[in-house]
Structures are given as C-alpha cells and as structure tokens.
Amino acid sequence: MALQSLDIIRRSATTLPEPQARGAHAGQVAKLIDVSKCIGCKACQVACMEWNDLRDEIGSCTGHYDNPPDLSDQSWTLMRFAEYENPKGDLEWLIRKDGCMHCADPGCLKACPSPGAIVQYANGIVDFHEENCIGCGYCVTGCPFNIPRISKKDNKAYKCTLCSDRVSVGLEPACVKTCPTGAITFGSKEDMQQHAAERIEDLKSRGFAQAGLYDPMGVGGTHVMYVLQHADQPQLYSGLPANPKISAIVGLWKGISKPLGLLAIFATAAVGFLHYIGIGPNETDEQDEEAARRELKNELEKTP
C-alpha cells in the first residue's frame, strides 16, 4: 500500500527502479517565500514546532535576532536576519526563512548510502525516513544549502518535510497556514511561479530593479522558492548560495568509486579463483611434516 499511494519517484541507495506509472499530473507542489513581505515574527517557526511535535531548547541571546541561533533536529526552519546597507545608504532588513529547499535534484538523496532513508515523492517533496537513517551525515555533505542536522539524541538526520503528512491529505504546510503577512504561500509550482512574477513586477515598480525569483537550476530547481528584492545578490540573504550545486565529492563517490570498488572485489575473487586452478592449495607431504617435526624438536632443545 505504502509505495504506490505515496508515488515515490526516487529512493536513496536503491538500484531497482521505482514505480513510475503514476505522476503528479495536476502539477508538483511548491512553497513561495516572499522575503519582501516577511516581518520576521517567527510564527512559521512556532507553527512548525507545534505541528511536528518538536521543542528546541531555550537558548540564550547570541547578539542577533536569529533565535534559535541555528537549525537543529528540533528547529527545521529558522528566520535569518541580515542587515544590509544599500548603495543609497539606507538600511534594509533582509529576513529569510531558512529551511529545506526540496530540490528537484536532491544532493542529500544522492549522497545517502542507506536504502530508503531519503525519498522523493512525485509531488516534489524530499522526505527523510529516520527509521532507515544510519546517522552517517553524508546528507549534510551532499546538501548545497547546509540544511540537515544530526540529532544528538538518536544520531539520525532531521529536516523540514514540507509537512508531507499535511500535504498527503490535501492541506498546506503549517508554516504557510500561519504566516500573518502572507509572505509564505503554497500551491502548484506553476501557480507559485505566476504569483512570484506578479510580486516581482510590483517590487520593480517600487524601485527594486533587480527583484527576482530564486529557483536555482544548479539543483534542478527547488520546491521552496524565494522572491528576493536583490535576486542578483542572493548571498546578501544570510549567505544564500548564488549557484548551488551538489558537491563534486558526491558525484565522485557515487559515480566512479562505487563501480571501481565493485571491480576491485570481483578482481580479487577472480585472482583467487585463477590461483586455485593454476597453482592450487598449499599441500604438504610426509617429508615436509618430518622436517617440521625435526625443526620443532631442535627449537625445544635449545630453550632451557
């Protein structure tokens, strides 16, 4: 029941093809975060914790507005506050809701060595299944956005699920529902792109000439997109990468190392077999045994 109803299109560390017949014919889902509308109230953080039954530790002030200071196994989304002085000398407060981008080409899934620990659904959501997670942390290396976090309690990786449990029954994610300013919206990816285009046009008319949509193609596009006032400089938004790409190490490991490793195993087995039929096992005759007994006797006589 599980596999078909979920329409899994990709599964980590699995060589067999997934069922492909069903597709997201009404469009894949996407979350659009309009940074220009965000007031940094953190209702999304609260709603995320309430829905997913998470409670992060109460920390202490670290000198900035980010609270908690970083993503964790208990905080799957986080408002990151950046102060930017624009060329006119005015201060701009760029507040970005950080969290999983749900890449179309997920680096975490590609890097994951544990079968079924990371899956991608036909609707575009990338989900972690902690029961299969071995806590190796390769997903952290594979992620171009530095999102997954390993829990200190159970050594398993956690991140935003895009509320796959809500979306599976036809609801929007918890953060989207709660957002008081409407900075976070949810719908089909096509609708979100259209909505973004309207917002960008509005921002351009208000003097943000470089306003644009962040939907990076280096990871095949994402199912969490941003409307940025300065789309030409995404790094202004607390280090949002301009050209996110899956680390070359992942490609090397999954691309070349694996067949090379398998080749080495088979070569060893073949050499062993050839050695067996060519030279054969190491056998001893009665003369060898006699020589060995003599040697042992001499050794015993030498030692007092």
Partner 1 sequence: MSEMTRRQFLKVTGTTLVGSSLALMGFSPGVALAEVREYKLARATETRNTCPYCSVACGILMYSLGDRAKNAVSNIFHIEGDPDHPVNRGTLCPKGAALVDFIHSESRLKHPEYRAPGSDKWQRISWDDALERISKLMKADRDANFVAKNADGLTVNRWLTTGMLAASASSNEVGYLTHKVARSLGLLAFDNQARV
Find the binder of partner 1 among 68, 116, 239, 251 (CB under 8 A).
116
Site string for partner 1, 246-275 (x = CB under 8 A): ---------------xx--x---x------
If the CB atoms of residues 128 and 208 are measured against partner 1, the closer one turns out to be: 128
Q: Which one, 9 or 219, has the nearer CB to partner 1? A: 9
Q: Is 178 in the site for partner 1 (CB under 8 A)?
A: yes
Q: Residues 26 to 55: which contact partner 1 by CB under 8 A? A: 41-43, 45-47, 50-51
Nearer to partner 1, 207 or 272 (CB): 272
Q: Which of 174, 213, 231, 250 binds partner 1 (CB under 8 A)?
A: 174
Binding to partner 1 (CB under 8 A) within 119-148 occurs at 119, 127, 129, 132
* Residue 304 found at the interface with partner 1 (CB under 8 A): no
Strands 157-158 and 184-188: unpaired
Distance between CA 79 and CA 76 in Å, rounded?
A: 11
Which structure tokens are listed for 86?
A: 């624009």
Q: How far is the CB of 303 from partner 1 (least distance, A)?
A: 28
For tokens 């930017």, name the residue. 84
Nearer to partner 1, 58 or 300 (CB): 58
CA dihedral 276, 279, 281, 286 (to 10 degrees): 160
Residue 14 Cβ, how far from partner 1 at the closest point, in Å? 5
Q: Residues 188 to 247: which contact partner 1 by CB under 8 A? A: none
Nearer to partner 1, 47 or 250 (CB): 47
Q: How far is the CB of 99 from partner 1 (least distance, A)?
A: 16
Sole binder of partner 1 in the list 92, 165, 191, 202 (CB under 8 A):
165
Whole-number minimum distance, CB 293 to partner 1, in Å? 20
* Chain residues 55-114 in contact with partner 1, contact rule CB under 8 A: none
**Interface pick for partner 1 out of 36, 72, 74, 161 (rule CB under 8 A):** 161
Query: In sequence order, what DSSP letters do the residues of the chain get, joined into one string?
Result: -HHHHHTEEEETT--SPPP-S---TT--EEEEEEGGG-----HHHHHHHHHHT---------SSS-SSSS--SS-S-EEEEEEEE-TTS-EEEEEEEES---BSS-HHHHH--STTSEEEETTS-EEE-GGG-----HHHHH-TT---EE-TTT--EE---TTHHHHTTT---HHHHH-TTS-EEEEEHHHHHHHHHHHHHHHHHTT-TT-EEE--GGGT-BSEEEEETTTT-GGGTTS--SS----HHHHHIIIIIHHHHHHHHHHHHHHHHHHHHHT------HHHHHHHHHHHHHHHHH--
Q: Which residues of the chain form contacts with partner 1 (CB under 8 A)?
A: 2-3, 6, 8, 11, 13-16, 18, 41-43, 45-47, 50-51, 115-116, 119, 127, 129, 132, 161, 164-166, 168-169, 174, 177-180, 182, 261-262, 265, 269
